[in-house]
Amino acid sequence: RGKKAFIAGVADDQGFGWAIAKCLAEAGAEISLGVWVPALNIFETSLRRGKFDESRKLSNGSLMEFAHVYPMDAVFDTLEDVPQDVKENKRYAGSEGWTVSECAAKVGKDWGNVDILVHSLANGPEVQKPLLETSRRGYLAAMSASSYSFVSLLQRFGPLMTEGGAAISLTYIAADRVIPGYGGGMSSAKAALESDTKVLAYEAGRKYGVRVNTISAGPLGSRAAKAIGFIDDMIRYSYENAAMKKELAATEVGNVATFLLSPLASAVTGQTVYVDNGLSIMGLAM
């Protein structure tokens, strides 16, 4: 049977989450999405109106289908965690059951179990501020949305996962090298995510027989990256300095994700795998 993959962090066809969905679909997996609540309406409307049809095309000519599209906000674990103003916010009031635990419960009800878990989301409200100017609130918000969200997802989806299943997240080299401009505690959040990848690989490996890896991706002009502000410079820098002189395609990350999530990678866990055209190996580029 086709593997069942839950992908958190898709809201359009431009980011890594979409590319991973597509590569997994090409490999025969069934795909369900967790879409950030404030982005759900426009995503569903665009999907319905055929705006993504071109990007949904699979190599056999059919269109990628989504088994389920769930609203999700990965900064809330249970309904009790949701503050009143969010509950009443009109972008949230229209949908329900979008905390991580409620979303996992729905997936459990609809699918019974899950083979693949993908975390392709991040958010740092103060990303444009240097760390030296980041507030406690902004820093903790970045950690909550970008790091703890993965812990939370694995906590809730782990019990649904089949033995031999696998989880993956997306990280960035700012976790261990200085990338000026990647601020607001986002570098800290990625460092936590990479460290947690090891601990969670051990814990989920022992508890569920599930592997956990993270892909450190090169720059891509996704919606989230455009919000940071310097993505075009990063793409140019990578093109000039990486070992491979080419622009990174989201599919290249999708393909490695599909490998890491497949039995071909059955002994690979706890790893940060660079998919960056080899930019990370360079000291001095000539």
State which residue, 27 or 231, has the beta carbon closest to ligand NAD: 231
In sequence order, which residues have a C-beta less than 8 Å from that of residue 281 and are 6 or more positions away? 243
Judged by DSSP in three states, 235 sits in helix
**Stretches 15-23, 87-95, 158-166, 198-206: which one binds ligand NAD (CB under 6 A)?**
15-23
Using CB under 6 A, which residues numbered 127 to 166 contact ligand NAD? 145
Judged by DSSP in three states, 230 sits in coil
Q: Which of 139, 182, 239, 274 is catalytic?
A: 182
Interface pick for ligand NAD out of 5, 72, 166, 257 (rule CB under 6 A) = 72
> At which residue do the structure tokens 């000291």 appear?
283
State which residue, 63 or 227, has the beta carbon closest to ligand NAD: 227
Query: Active site includes 274?
Result: no
Q: Which of 172, 202, 208, 239 is catalytic?
A: 172
Interface pick for ligand NAD out of 32, 99, 188, 222 (rule CB under 6 A) = 222
> At which residue do the structure tokens 């809201």 appear?
11
C-beta separation of 101 from 78 below 8 A: yes
Question: In the complex, what is the shortest distance from the CB of residue 54 to ligand NAD, in angstroms, rounded to a whole number?
Answer: 17
Question: In the complex, what is the shortest distance from the CB of residue 135 to ligand NAD, in angstroms, rounded to a whole number?
Answer: 18
Could you give the CA distance from residue 66 to residue 10 in angstroms, rounded to a whole number? 12
Query: Active site includes 237?
Result: no
Interface pick for ligand NAD out of 75, 143, 192, 256 (rule CB under 6 A) = 75
User: Which positions from 92 to 131 touch ligand NAD by CB under 6 A, shown as an x/- string?
Assistant: ----------------------------xxxx--------
Could you give the CA distance from residue 82 to residue 35 in angstroms, rounded to a whole number? 17
In the structure encoding, which two tokens stand for residue 245, read together?
């002189």
Residue 224, interface with ligand NAD (CB under 6 A)?
Answer: yes
Q: Count of CB atoms within 10 A of residue 66's CB? A: 17
Could you give the CA distance from residue 264 to residue 27 in angstroms, rounded to a whole number? 13
Could you give the CA distance from residue 273 to residue 141 in angstroms, rounded to a whole number? 26
Q: How many residues lie near ligand NAD (CB under 6 A)?
A: 27
**Stretches 60-68, 153-161, 217-225, 236-244: which one binds ligand NAD (CB under 6 A)?**
217-225
C-beta separation of 118 from 20 below 8 A: yes
In the structure encoding, which two tokens stand for residue 200, read together?
């969670």
Interface residues toward ligand NAD, by CB under 6 A? 9-11, 14-17, 36, 39, 72-75, 120-123, 145, 170, 172, 217, 219-220, 222-225
Q: Which residues are catalytic?
A: 172, 182
